[in-house]
Structure 1
Amino acid sequence: MPAKRQVIEVEGLGHGDNPIPVAVKAGGWLFTGTVPGIDRATGTFPDQVATEIANAFDNLGAVLEAAGVAWGDVTKVDVSLRDKAHRNFVNDNWLKYFPDDDDRPVRHVSRVDLPGEMNIQLQIVAMAS
């Protein structure tokens, strides 16, 4: 019988009233749901887009840590942005977390009508042995 999914949760990151985990480990892989740039301590979005995008990457780091997975294990990142003009803030964080030109995951950026005040969502696939 195949191994069961392992649900990963991080305090301050949830999907509201929806019964959806933040991430799941299964079959040697980690899959996240969408990870926003919310301030986990206050539950609010910052006023500055650059801060929100940095928060999204920090929040993703918290998910990786909770799952016992390293940034170097990330294989794909999907980025949903309200405005593609904010891609430069994504690139700043991208280079912070993936500094090696020869060891970066693939990335896909989409412009999306995100709900409320949200400007970014991240979603990843990572190796999780």
Structure 2
Amino acid sequence: MNNYGIKVALVDDSSVIRNSIYEIITLWGYDVMLRAVNGKDLLKQLSAGNVPDICITDLNMPVMDGYETIAALKEKWPDIKIIAFSITNNKKEEERAIEAGAHAFVSKLSSITELQKVLQDMQLPAGSGY
């Protein structure tokens, strides 16, 4: 699969999760341009010339959680597509993330192919899903 040119930011306070997802989606052909430990770290790294197409963010993080991160991204960089990525498979958490502005929710407990499918769906032209 060739997804070259699709730039991704990863935000997760767990270095194991962050590095694992980095390795996996890099193998899928995505360009992981930013890795951050929380939302505040991500926002420090973002600039006009350094904006990803997609951001995968954990929801439960110290300093600046995923909900705050989603809201900040929607306000300042509304074109970034956001995947909320959480260890829970809680419907309320999913709904809260979507209400905050996330385009999709993927549980870390689901198969890695679920994340792959959501990433692929986000590349579809406007009006065809996301």
TM-score range with shorter-chain normalisation?
0.3 to 0.5
Q: Higher helix share goes to which structure? A: 2
Q: Which has the higher strand share?
A: 1
Task: Kindly name which structure, 1 or 2, has the bigger radius of gyration based on alpha carbons.
Answer: 1
Relative CO higher for 1 or 2, CA cutoff 8 Å, sep ≥ 6? 1
